Amino acid sequence: MASSIFSDCSSARLLPLRLALLPPRPPRLRLCPALPPPMRLLVAARPLLLPRPHRMDSPPAATASSADSATVSADMPAKVIDGKLVAKQVREEIAVEVARMKDAIGVVPGLAVILVGSRKDSQTYVRNKKKACEAVGIQSFEVNLPEDSSEEEVIKHIASFNSDPSVHGILVQLPLPRHMNDENILNAVGIEKDVDGFHPLNIGRLAMQGRDPFFVPCTPKGCMELLHRSGVEIKGKRAVVIGRSNIVGMPAALLLQKANATVSIVHSQTKNPEEITRQADIVIAAVGVANLVRGNWIKPGAAIIDVGINPVDDPESPRGYRLVGDVCYEEASKVAGAITPVPGGVGPMTIAMLLANTLESAKRIHNFN
Amino acid sequence: MASSIFSDCSSARLLPLRLALLPPRPPRLRLCPALPPPMRLLVAARPLLLPRPHRMDSPPAATASSADSATVSADMPAKVIDGKLVAKQVREEIAVEVARMKDAIGVVPGLAVILVGSRKDSQTYVRNKKKACEAVGIQSFEVNLPEDSSEEEVIKHIASFNSDPSVHGILVQLPLPRHMNDENILNAVGIEKDVDGFHPLNIGRLAMQGRDPFFVPCTPKGCMELLHRSGVEIKGKRAVVIGRSNIVGMPAALLLQKANATVSIVHSQTKNPEEITRQADIVIAAVGVANLVRGNWIKPGAAIIDVGINPVDDPESPRGYRLVGDVCYEEASKVAGAITPVPGGVGPMTIAMLLANTLESAKRIHNFN
């Protein structure tokens, strides 16, 4: 995996940010001629996901001390934030908590997934979620409905899960078939089981001081968890979020703001994204444009969280393409203080956070701490 | 009024922004020794509040062409955005629309205000709202409850207004007595009559792309209206909001972001507020610290909207104090391209926007365009 994340960004077209919303197509990239030195893995010792780690029965898996993580190499100064390892650690912590809850009050957290239609990618996602649930002891419920189902049928199943006490989280796999209104369907999910955290009421509570959302949307929550566990200080820091989608960019900005960063959102209408990004101690890139963020956009020592997962042509790969982030990793990793790779950075965190939200929901519903 | 807004900021303590949340106390300021030249008033010709101004029976009151407003004086380059005049213009437009609605479908918009206790300032605000309603033809309803009322009593009155078809907007005057939970009471207001726009569901819809709030909170809406009517371009511009309160700063930032500005929020934890503010083409200051924003914080030509209303000691005033904004007007007006005075800037817009929201609500409920 390590080798596949490096690419030579110099030959990539630098897409203007305003083109970011056009339908994606793989840009052609040359492979990096020489592989860089092996990544140094960084996982901070303190687990921040669970409020009371001292209650856990076993210590977190692989960890490195923050002193160790401060080492700097001339060739590759950035510490690599290994999302795969952090996600594994989070899942292990969740498994411990799920077992503790079952032992204490006999309740097993439950996640219901509703899949409409037979898209191969959606089926894979749903299968992965199910597996991830099973691995940590969360019960999973699944409903598969045919492509031509009516909105009413989907909503009927949601209503049934809303009132089912063994279900603590409900997830409707997106995208839905075109004849359905996403908003109507997502709004049918009870706010106290909306583990995706996309309900406007939830987003409003996320935006407001003195209010807390029921759930933090999974991918932005994963970004914050990576920052926290890597020991990146947020309070008082300049943060730039590139992209303002409802599911990543906007909630990520609200979370950074809640954590007392000074936040700027860069988007398709921003005239000088590189200049603004260069001021940031923390960058979250979530715009969906391969290698948009170049090395000269990065402030030396900044922490870079790359949410983008973009396919680019790669004749040397068996699949003919490979995945790169929104950040030109090869360039940025020479300037940044810490950086997530793609794949293996934010990606694995999303499902881990979905499990965390489901556990959190079960704890809240059953008033279990 | 014009003379009272100028002050010599040089003698004012420059409060660190992190002190902004401390209880306010009037800083001592010397009066400006010489009065500056008379303000030039700026009101752009196009009314943006009402979707179809061509339907209005009479043209807006005092207006100046945008060519006129571009004149620059060496002594006092900033165009003064006269909120009193704009608010008057808005109220006149609302009166025309209220009359048109009554003529067409026989519906009169209604605003209900609930006042608990007998705070003098709250009584004054409620009286002013009532007068403003009467002046534009909006029917006002009022309930005065004693200080020691229970939460249940207040909520009972809210419920009654929620179901009253002649009421289109409900406003609970804040602050409420200490024994009441603001959140419980405000959440009782039906979302479709929440003309204050403070409900988290509303804020969430404001934050999300592709969603629209039922109502935009009045003061931030007033800020945007002043920018629009002054011909300030927002799309693609850098905007800085100073302060992140739920009722002004945060929703103002969301509105600027929805209008495609690149927005940064500066707050009490921001380390270099002046440096960030100096990058902004548009500044909305809403932090509640007298004269915090100095001339050297301002980018030449920027548009400055000053929401602050802070009392400062003034022995020469009959009341012993006078009101100044968060922006040091005397300094900023020499650098900015356009600026709101205090008083007479954002202040008068808040009630005007409350009337606008009430009208909008009545139109929506009765499907009237």
Question: pLDDT at position B8, please?
Answer: 53
Whether residue B209 and residue A263 make contact (CB cut-off 8 A), yes or no, is no
pLDDT at B77: 80
Residues of B with CB under 8 A from a CB of A: 183, 199-211, 235-236, 238, 244-246, 250, 254, 257, 260-267, 269-271, 276
List beta partners, residue B7. B31
* Residue B33, burial from CB neighbour count under 10 angstroms (0-12, 13-18, 19+): exposed
- The H or E element spanning position B323 is strand B321-324
B19-85+218-347 folds as Rossmann fold (3.40.50)
- One-letter amino acid identity for B29? L
Tell whether the model's pLDDT for residue A199 goes beyond 50: yes
Domains B19-85+218-347 and B107-207+352-359 share a fold: yes
Residue type, A254: L
Catalytic residue among A79, A82, A89, A173: A173
Which pLDDT score, from 0 to 100, does residue B28 have? 47
Residue type, B281: D
- The CATH number of the structural domain formed by A2-86+218-351 is 3.40.50.720
H or E stretch covering B361: helix B347-365
Of B79, B129, B221, B299, which residue is the catalytic one?
Answer: B129
Average pLDDT, integer, range B283-309: 98
Residue among A287, A223, A292, A273 at smallest CA distance from A27: A292
Min distance A29 CA to chain B CA atoms (Å): 30
A324, A330 Cβ separation under 8 angstroms: no
B263, β-bridge pairs? B239
Mean pLDDT, to the nearest integer, of A294-299?
98
Q: For B187-234, how does the pLDDT look when each residue is reduced to its tens digit (9 = 90+)?
A: 999 999 999 999 999 999 999 999 999 999 999 999 999 999 999 999
Mean pLDDT of A310-332: 96
- pLDDT the model gives residue A355: 98
Q: What pLDDT is attached to residue A49?
A: 37
CATH class, A106-207 region: alpha beta
pLDDT (0 to 100) of residue A22: 40
| CB atoms A267 and B269 under 8 Å | no
What would the two tokens of residue A229 be?
């566990």
Report d(CA A125, CA A174) in Å as an integer. 10
Strand A310-313 with A321-324, pairing: antiparallel
Closest chain A CA to residue B209: A246
Distance from CA of B327 to the nearest CA of A (A): 20
pLDDT tens digits along B96-120: 999 999 999 999 999 999 999 999 9
What's A125's DSSP letter?
Answer: H
Mean of pLDDT values over A210-219: 96
Whether residue B122 has pLDDT greater than 50? yes
Distance to chain B for A70, nearest Cα, Å: 24
Q: Using the Cα atoms of residue B249, residue B250, residue B254 and residue B257 in order, give the sign of their dihedral.
A: positive
- Among positive and negative, which fits the CA dihedral B347, B348, B352, B354? positive
Partners of B142 in the β-ladder = B113
Q: How far is CA A298 from the centre of its chain?
A: 21
The pLDDT tens digits of the residues spanning A25-66 come to: 444 443 333 333 333 444 433 333 333 333 233 333 333 333
| DSSP code of residue B177 | P
CA distance A251 to A253: 5
Q: What is the pLDDT of residue A152?
A: 97
Give the pair of three-digit tokens for residue B26. 């009037």
Token duo for residue B278: 């100096």
Q: Are B214 and B250 in contact (CB under 8 A)?
A: no
Segment B231-257, tens digit of pLDDT: 999 999 999 999 999 999 999 999 999
Phi/psi at B88 (nearest 5 deg)? -60, -45
CA distance B268 to A240: 18
Residue B364's Cβ-side half-sphere holds a number of Cα atoms within 13 Å equal to 17
CB-based contacts of B84-88 (< 8 A; 24+ apart in sequence): B84/B1, B84/B344, B84/B348, B85/B41, B85/B43, B85/B61, B86/B43, B86/B225, B86/B226, B86/B229, B86/B348, B86/B349, B86/B352, B87/B222, B87/B348, B87/B349, B87/B351, B87/B352, B88/B61, B88/B348
Q: Which of B205, B269, B272 to substitute to test the interface with A, most A CBs within 10 Å?
A: B269
List CB contacts (< 8 A) between B269 and chain A.
Answer: 235-236, 260-262
- In chain A, % of residues over pLDDT 70: 80
pLDDT tens per residue across span A56-89? 333 333 333 333 333 334 455 899 999 999 999 9
Domain boundaries defined on chain A:
2-86+218-351, 106-207
Is the four-CA dihedral A343, A344, A347, A348 of positive or negative sign? positive
Using an 8 Å CB-CB cutoff, list chain B residues near A245.
209
| Phi, psi values for residue A84, rounded to 5° | -65, -45
Which pLDDT belongs to residue A6?
36
Q: Show the tokens assigned to A330.
A: 């090869």
8-state DSSP, A121: H
- Tell me the average pLDDT across A230-251: 97
Query: Which residue in A254, A131, A121, A60 sits closest to B206, CA to CA?
Result: A254
What pLDDT does residue A300 have? 97
ipTM value for the complex? 0.83
Q: Tens digit of pLDDT for each residue in A119-170? A: 999 999 999 999 999 999 999 999 999 999 999 999 999 999 999 999 999 9
In terms of phi and psi (left: phi > 0; alpha: psi -120 to 50; beta: otherwise), the region of A236 is left
Residue A9's pLDDT is 73
Pairwise pLDDT comparison (A173 vs B20), residue with the higher score: A173
Stretch (H or E) spanning B76: none
Q: Which of A202-206, A265-269, B73-77 has the lowest mean pLDDT?
A: B73-77
**Helix and strand element counts for chain A (H, E):** 11, 12
- Report whether B326 contacts B293 (CB < 8 A): yes
Relative orientation angle of helices A83-105 and A218-229, to the nearest 10 degrees: 110
CB atoms within 10 A of CB B45: 15
Average pLDDT, chain A: 85
**Mean pLDDT for chain B overall:** 85
> Would you state the pLDDT for residue A53?
32
Catalytic pick among A82, A194, A196, A281: A196
A129 carries an active-site annotation: yes
Question: Of 3.10.620.30, 1.10.357.10, 3.40.50.2300, 3.40.50.10860, which CATH number belongs to B107-207+352-359?
Answer: 3.40.50.10860
> How far B247 CA sits from the closest chain A CA (Å)?
9
| CA angle, A321 then A326 then A328, to 5° | 85
Q: Are residues A116 and A154 in contact, defined by beta-carbon separation less than 8 angstroms?
A: yes
- Which pLDDT score is estimated for B59? 34
Listing DSSP states for A187-200 in one string gives HTS-GGG-TT--SH
- Which pLDDT value is given to residue B21? 39
> Looking at residue B76, what is its pLDDT?
57
Query: Residue A169 has which token pair?
Result: 């989280």
Residues of A with CB under 8 A from a CB of B: 183, 199-211, 235-236, 238, 244-246, 250, 254, 257, 260-267, 269-271, 276
Residue B9, pLDDT score: 72
